[in-house]
Amino acid sequence: MNSPFVLDTKTIQYYIGNGALEKSAKLFSDYSSVYVLMDENVEKYCLDLFLKSVPGLKVRGFIKIPAGESSKSIEHAVHIWQSLTNLGAGRDSLLINLGGGVVSDIGGFCAGTYKRGMPFINVPTTLLSQIDAAIGGKTGIDFDSLKNQVGLFIDSKAVITDPVFLKTLKPEYWQSGFAEVTKHALIMDRELWKILGHRSYKEVEEWNDIIIRSAKDKIDIVRYDKGERNVRKILNFGHTVGHAIESHFLKSDKPITHGQAVAAGMICEAWISAHIEQLECNNVGEITERIDLSFQRLNISEKDIPELMQLMRQDKKIRNGEFKFSLLRRLGKAVHDVVVEPELIEDSIRFYINNKKCE
Ligand SMILES: NC(=O)c1ccc[n+]([C@@H]2O[C@H](COP(=O)([O-])OP(=O)(O)OC[C@H]3O[C@@H](n4cnc5c(N)ncnc54)[C@H](O)[C@@H]3O)[C@@H](O)[C@H]2O)c1
């Protein structure tokens, strides 16, 4: 077994890769009382494994939320604050967010606001949270059908990422995480783009190195720009159109995963990149082909475009009514704050819907 990647930034400690759980176990001994937040699937598939890997962990209480995006709500935040209160958690206690992006988002938000802030550690158990959601200090809940409408930037004390958890992950969540891995490759890591190659996520056999590489990409960015004032914005590639699509489906009775929305968003935004940045059309073709290997096209039609545009106008990334995008200049290189006219965005959605060729 390889050793995990270890990084201590003075404010956050990262342990990433096979063996991370065992290697980091000593971290928990700093806390006298520990609470574990998880969802029902994580309790079933990951809790025993976690507890066995950290012998001697003094857990004072377990807090459970239902699985799924609908748990990222104010009602579940109240449940978590109430449980912490009932269980007697103090500011010197530790909350462990054991789970996917839903758990780390709402858990970080609740820990960051409970008694004006209690420490927390993220132990991500989905591909998406291992390479993305658990890293970078963005926490929050959905509100009024809008994704991540209420939240705060706050760092976890540590992120402990062990691929061992992923053995029980359902295929749709491998797929969802793969969208963000692909994004990291496209915006900043051409070598990763090569490693991923022309294959679907189902054909990847060796994940450890991909997870380490992709998580390091995100760490590199957020270390430079935690508050998303400049370079961090490139992580939003695929997410302006993608978030609108995700919110659109969140309102329907057929919600989709975050990754499915981002995959569709990346196709649209790659096309926009070819029209106002210098990305070549053959690169758009390559990106589209590769994304299509892993993701089926979503059921969106011309009549959905006005609603998607309206949802985009409510996006936190839209300033003074201007649509500012993070786009690709070339494979492995992104730029941010590019103003895009609404008509071009609408056309990019048509490009996606009609499965057109970039020319
Ligand atoms: N904060 C950020 O920077 C950031 C970045 C990207 C995404 N996100 C957020 O992350 C969320 C999506 O994250 P996600 O895809 O991890 O979703 P998730 O947390 O809902 O997990 C997906 C599913 O997998 C289950 N699960 C978790 N670990 C498992 C395991 N090891 N084995 C079996 N099942 C397991 C969960 O119960 C759930 O049903 C979204 O809310 C998104 O907005 C946040």
Residue 127 in contact with ligand 1 by CB distance below 6 A: no
Measured between alpha carbons, how far is 288 from 127 in angstroms, rounded to an integer? 22
Name the residue of 125, 126, 187 whose CB sits within 8 Å of the most ligand 1 atoms, as the mutation to test its pocket.
126
Residue 237 in contact with ligand 1 by CB distance below 6 A: no
Name the residue of 38, 41, 257 whose CB sits within 8 Å of the most ligand 1 atoms, as the mutation to test its pocket.
41
Beta-carbon contacts of 353 under 8 Å, excluding residues fewer than 6 positions away, are: 300, 301, 302
Neighbouring C-beta atoms of residue 193, cutoff 10 Å: 18
Residue 109 in contact with ligand 1 by CB distance below 6 A: no
Beta-carbon contacts of 282 under 8 Å, excluding residues fewer than 6 positions away, are: none
What are the structural domain ranges in the chain?
5-168, 177-354
Beta-carbon contacts of 235 under 8 Å, excluding residues fewer than 6 positions away, are: 183, 187, 218, 221, 326
Same fold, 5-168 and 177-354: no
Q: How far is the CA of 272 from the centre of ligand 1 (A)?
A: 28
Measured between alpha carbons, how far is 160 from 267 in angstroms, rounded to an integer? 32
Between 274 and 317, whose confidence is greater?
274
pLDDT at position 170, please?
Answer: 97
pLDDT at position 1, please?
Answer: 55
Residue 261 in contact with ligand 1 by CB distance below 6 A: no
Nearest-CA residue for ligand 1 atom 30 is 169
Q: How far is the CA of 188 from the centre of ligand 1 (A)?
A: 23
Fold of 5-168: Rossmann fold (3.40.50)
Q: What token pair was written down for 243?
A: 């978030």
Q: How far is the CA of 127 from the centre of ligand 1 (A)?
A: 8
pTM above 0.85, yes or no: yes
Beta-carbon contacts of 20 under 8 Å, excluding residues fewer than 6 positions away, are: 4, 160, 161, 162
Q: What token pair was written down for 254?
A: 């057929």
Residues of the chain with pLDDT > 90, as a percent, come to 89
pLDDT at position 253, please?
Answer: 79
CB of 121 within 8 A of CB of 37?
Answer: no
Give tens-digit pLDDT for 215-238.
999 999 999 999 999 999 999 999
Between 42 and 317, whose confidence is greater?
42
pLDDT at position 252, please?
Answer: 82
When pLDDT is averaged across residues 160-172 and rounded to a whole number, the result is: 97
- Ramachandran region, residue 170 (left: φ > 0; alpha: ψ -120 to 50; beta: rest): beta
Identify the residue whose tokens are 């963000």: 180
DSSP letters along 87-102, please?
A: TT--TTSEEEEEESHH
Residue 153 in contact with ligand 1 by CB distance below 6 A: no
CB of 214 within 8 A of CB of 178?
Answer: no
Q: How far is the CA of 177 from the centre of ligand 1 (A)?
A: 9
Average pLDDT, the chain: 95
The model's confidence at residue 195, banded by pLDDT at 50, 70 and 90, is very high
The model's confidence at residue 94, banded by pLDDT at 50, 70 and 90, is very high
Domain spanning 177-354, CATH architecture: Up-down Bundle (1.20)
Give tens-digit pLDDT for 250-260.
878 788 999 99
Torsion angles phi and psi, residue 298, rounded to 5: -80, 160
Nearest-CA residue for ligand 1 atom 8 is 133
The model's confidence at residue 140, banded by pLDDT at 50, 70 and 90, is very high
pLDDT at position 319, please?
Answer: 72
- Asked whether residue 58 carries a pLDDT value surpassing 90, the answer given is no
Measured between alpha carbons, how far is 142 from 72 in angstroms, rounded to an integer? 6
The model's confidence at residue 324, banded by pLDDT at 50, 70 and 90, is very high
pLDDT at position 336, please?
Answer: 96
Residue 173 in contact with ligand 1 by CB distance below 6 A: yes
Q: How far is the CA of 181 from the centre of ligand 1 (A)?
A: 14
pLDDT at position 103, please?
Answer: 98
When pLDDT is averaged across residues 44-49 and rounded to a whole number, the result is: 98
Measured between alpha carbons, how far is 178 from 295 in angstroms, rounded to an integer? 10
Give tens-digit pLDDT for 293-323.
999 999 999 999 999 999 999 876 777 789 9
pLDDT at position 182, please?
Answer: 98
Side-chain-facing half-sphere of 218: CA atoms under 13 Å: 26
Residue 168 in contact with ligand 1 by CB distance below 6 A: yes
- Asked whether residue 187 carries a pLDDT value surpassing 80, the answer given is yes
pLDDT at position 2, please?
Answer: 67
Burial 289-306 (b: 16+ CB within 10 A, else e): ebbeebbeebebeeebbe
When pLDDT is averaged across residues 114-122 and rounded to a whole number, the result is: 97
Q: How far is the CA of 320 from the centre of ligand 1 (A)?
A: 32
Residue 53 in contact with ligand 1 by CB distance below 6 A: no
Where do runs of H (alpha helix) occur along 12-166? 20-24, 40-45, 47-53, 74-86, 101-113, 127-128
